Chains A and B, each alone.
Chain A
Amino acid sequence: MARSSETGVVGVTGATGHLGQWVISELTKRGYETVSISRTPTKIRTIESLGFPSATRTLALDLSDWNKVQQASPQLLELDYVLHLAGYIPDDTNKNVEFDAAKTLKQNVTSMVHLLRSVRSSKRLKAVLFASSFEVYGTPRQLPVDEDHPTEPLSYYGASKLACEKYLSIFGNETGLRHCSFRLPAVYGPGDQLNRAIGNFIRATTRKEPLAIYGDGSDRRDLVYAGDAARALADCLETPVPTVLNLGSGTGYSILEMAQAVQSLLDGTEIVMAERKKPKLDYVLSIERAKQELNWSPEVSLEQGIKAQLQWHSRRETET
């Protein structure tokens, strides 16, 4: 197949997921060929309505199955870059149910080992980038949390992402290939279907319910807009990067600010305070390293991001 001389073929695992669709879009814009690697590549994409392009090709593959990964070896060895976004994320990572221990190990950790083994002998591969999570850090000892903060995950999910990062780092040292683990906070924007703060608020508005805040809403959390995260990942394909990089808003937002941003866009939305369910927790990531080493900063404001997500949501509602 003809290839653009400047760019190349990017394998994106989890390309049908929320961030995955944004990444495919960003890479397509930049002229890359993309291969959507996913267990169910034919899954209906949630943001088609925004005119997002599909991947150039698809490869149906369950990375947790080594035999299948070996069979897919010829296709995997054709890739110039791998963007590994696939992973299992529990509905509530803090619950740490038994099922999630086994599933995060298999779907996240074992899959990472398989992926790295499968491309180890590649002659074309230039970089492997991995979507990790802020959950690798555990309880913040100081704010904002920078990349040198100790890693003491409190969830199986966080522990699985940390193990993946470590395997990637060994792989990178061994092969000399460029590699980076992006520690992402909650990703929001059109296509977001997870039960996280913004998504919950938006879903409440479509049901004409008030926005429920547990506690006084002063807890600060971090967020990154999917388009901003996708831009950072795409930038790193060609740029030498640090091996671990936080992305985020840089400031964090209080839960109340998030609710008020939704309220300001939808007349008549009510905010109700309910009894606090969890202890107060502030969580803000430092993005100084991304600013300095990658010249990356978030470009989409909270208001703009929520507005886009609201529009996507209402368009979907009318379509279905």
Chain B
Amino acid sequence: MKVAVVGGTGFVGRHVVRRLLEKTFEVVNIDKLSSEQLYPGEQVLLCDLHADDGAARAARDAGEIGGAVWLAATIRQVTSIDDSAEDDLVTMVEAPLAFLTALSPQPKVFVYISSIQVYGKPVTLPVDETHPTDPFTAYGVAKLCAEHYLRIACDKAGVRFVSLRLAFVYGPGQHFSNVIPKFLTEAAKHQSPIIKGDGKEIRDDVYVEDVADAVASAIEMDCSGTFNISSGQPHTLLTVANEICALTGNLVQPVVTPEKSDWVDRWYTVAKAEKQLNFKATPLEQGLRKTWQDLAKQV
């Protein structure tokens, strides 16, 4: 079966493309940029989702596909409603809808990569899929809006729809501005990871290859609906930093600052994904180790 991965050149996209190829799917990566290192067998279709008719044209060019995975998004943590809000609506709602509509014949399954940002501030911990959805970021609103529009469109078209709500993703290939690769490179260079506040806030980081597995399962298994894809194991930023310092040879120790953090404790269950997607989260220590092994080759 041929699977279109829209946004296959990004950090998560590379892992998804690789995993799907390993599972012997035929994969077409639809992105505005091609990757510098294509996987054997990976097809690339360049597409500007902001161009008039861009998503629909890509769908027509992709030809007959059995599954679609929508990753394309600009990752933001902006809470305000500014010009990026409209941009997000185009990339994350209008474009996937136009893409789905233009696919002929219709695919069997559409997997939308959503975010735990759709929940907003947790009212109960851990957060499961029935938790109210009240995003406090415009990005989260766009993701939530897309989940509803695409569910309705897929229901109508007889396409199986799966929405994966990802926690904070880390792993090989992530940009250095993100906290885990940043701490790893710093620790390796004898620089202490600096934590704003006491580092005791609860967070949920999911290993990127687990996300790729979840996408593959969502395509292969007869399931539909919304799934949390997270570590399922709460940990603190201090734990992450301590693990990182241990992994990199105990060259430094994390430093906490007296600042007050505005972090909201977050922790998401994966029971539903475990049951229906055979999901198994990689333990934090193991995920960090793999990330470090990959990074160590570069630094």
Q: Is the CB of A171 within 8 A of B81?
A: yes
CB proximity to B under 8 Å, residues A68-125: 96, 98, 101-102, 105, 109-110, 113-114, 116-117, 120
Q: Is the CB of B97 within 8 A of A102?
A: yes
Q: Is the CB of A163 within 8 A of B130?
A: no
* A-B contacts, 6 listed (Cβ < 8 Å): A105-B94, A109-B145, A162-B145, A166-B141, A170-B135, A170-B141
Q: Is the CB of B86 within 8 A of A105?
A: no
Q: Is the CB of A113 within 8 A of B133?
A: no
Number of interface residues of A (CB under 8 A): 33
Q: Give the residue among A96, A114, A159 with the most B Cβ atoms within 10 A.
A: A159
Which stretch, B22-30, B148-156, B264-272, touches the partner chain A? B148-156
Contacts of A109 in B (CB 8 A): 89, 93, 145
The residue that A150 contacts in the complex, of B97, B132, B149, with Cβ under 8 A, is B132
Q: A-contacting residues of B (Cβ < 8 Å)?
A: 79-83, 85-86, 89, 93-94, 97-98, 101, 130, 132-138, 140-142, 144-145, 148-149, 152-153, 156
The residue that B153 contacts in the complex, of A101, A113, A171, with Cβ under 8 A, is A101
Question: In whole angstroms, what is the CA distance A163 to B136 when docked?
Answer: 12
Chain A at the B interface: SS class:
helix
User: Contacts A96-B156, A113-B86, A167-B81 hold; do A173 and B148 have CB atoms under 8 A apart?
Assistant: no
Q: Give the residue among B137, B152, B153 with the most A Cβ atoms within 10 A.
A: B152
Measured between C-beta atoms, what is the minimum distance from B75 to chain A in Å? 18
Q: Is the CB of B81 within 8 A of A163?
A: no
Question: In whole angstroms, what is the CA distance A159 to B89 when docked?
Answer: 13
Contacts of B152 in A (CB 8 A): 96, 101, 153-156, 159
Q: Is the CB of B89 within 8 A of A174?
A: no
Q: Is the CB of B81 within 8 A of A113?
A: yes
Contacts of B144 in A (CB 8 A): 162-163, 166
Contact with B along A140-172 (1 / 0, CB 8 A): 000000001011111110111011001101110
Interface residue? A66 (CB, 8 A): yes
Contacts of B145 in A (CB 8 A): 109, 159-160, 162-163, 166
